[in-house]
Amino acid sequence: MTLAILLLATATVSAATQPNILLIYVDDLGYGDLGSYGHPVLQTPHIDALAREGMRLTNYYAPSALCSPSRAGLLTGRHPYRTGIESWIPEDSGVYLRDEEITLAEVLRTAGYTTAHIGKWHLNSDLGSNTEPQPTDQGFDYYYGHNAFQLPHNYKPTNIYRNKTALPEQQGYTADLFADEAIQWLQRRDANKPFFLYLSMAEPHTSFANPPEYNAMYRQFTRGEVVPIPNGGAQPPKDMLIPRGPGEYYANVTYMDAQLGRVLDWLREQKIYDDTVIVFSSDNGPVTEQWINWWEVNAYGSTGGFRGRKHFLYEGGIRVPAIIRYAGVTEAGSVSDAQLIGMDFFVTLANIGGGAVPDDRAIDGVDIRPIFRGEKLPQRSLFWALESVSDMEFAIRNGAWKLMLDRDAMPRELYNLDEDPLEFFNLIAQQPAITSTLAAEAVQYIEAINNDPLRPDTDQKYAR
Average of pLDDT values for 385-404?
Answer: 94
Q: How confident is the model at residue 15, as a pLDDT?
A: 42
Q: How confident is the model at residue 17, as a pLDDT?
A: 86
14 pLDDT tier (thresholds 50, 70, 90): very low
Q: Within its chain, how far is the Cα of 370 from the centroid?
A: 22
Q: How confident is the model at residue 461, as a pLDDT?
A: 42
Backbone angles phi and psi of 408, in degrees to 5:
-90, 10
462 pLDDT tier (thresholds 50, 70, 90): very low
274 pLDDT tier (thresholds 50, 70, 90): very high
Average of pLDDT values for 216-242?
Answer: 96
454 pLDDT tier (thresholds 50, 70, 90): very high
Q: How confident is the model at residue 139, as a pLDDT?
A: 98
- Domains identified in the chain and CATH numbers: 20-372 (3.40.720.10), 391-450 (3.30.1120.10)
| 354 has a pLDDT exceeding 60 | yes
Q: What is the dihedral of CA 367, 373, 375, 381, to 10 degrees?
A: 30
pTM: 0.95
| 459 has a pLDDT exceeding 60 | no
DSSP string, 22-87: EEEEESS--TTSSGGGT-SS---HHHHHHHHHSEEESSEE-S-SSHHHHHHHHHHSS-HHHHT--S
Please check whether residue 152 is in contact with residue 231, taking contact to mean a CB–CB distance below 8 angstroms: yes
Distance (Å, rounded) from C-alpha 101 to C-alpha 214?
41
Average of pLDDT values for 262-290?
Answer: 98
pLDDT digits (tens, 9 = 90+) for 89-137: 999 999 999 999 999 999 999 999 999 999 999 999 999 899 999 999 9
Backbone angles phi and psi of 370, in degrees to 5:
-55, -30
Average of pLDDT values for 307-319?
Answer: 98
pLDDT digits (tens, 9 = 90+) for 235-245: 999 999 999 99
Distance (Å, rounded) from C-alpha 150 to C-alpha 280?
21
What per-residue string of b and e applies to 275-301 under the rule 16 or more CB within 10 Å gives b? ebbbbbbbbbbbbbbebeeebbbbbbb
| 38 has a pLDDT exceeding 50 | yes
% of the chain residues with pLDDT over 70? 95
Distance (Å, rounded) from C-alpha 305 to C-alpha 392?
20
Distance (Å, rounded) from C-alpha 96 to C-alpha 210?
31
| 268 has a pLDDT exceeding 90 | yes
Q: How confident is the model at residue 388, as a pLDDT?
A: 74
% of the chain residues with pLDDT over 90? 94
Nearest one of 44, 36, 41 to 220, comparing CA atoms? 41
Please state whether the peptide bond connecting residue 129 to the residue before it is cis, i.e. omega within 30 degrees of 0: no
Q: How confident is the model at residue 29, as a pLDDT?
A: 98
Q: How confident is the model at residue 11, as a pLDDT?
A: 40
Backbone angles phi and psi of 163, in degrees to 5:
55, -115
pLDDT digits (tens, 9 = 90+) for 152-165: 999 999 999 999 99
Average pLDDT, the chain: 94
SS3 call for 278:
strand
The DSSP H or E segment spanning 166 is strand 165-166
Average of pLDDT values for 402-412?
Answer: 97
| 43 has a pLDDT exceeding 90 | yes
Distance (Å, rounded) from C-alpha 175 to C-alpha 366?
32
Q: How confident is the model at residue 458, as a pLDDT?
A: 61
As beta bridge partners, residue 117 has 143, 198
- Which bin fits 118, alpha (ψ -120 to 50), beta or left (φ > 0)? beta
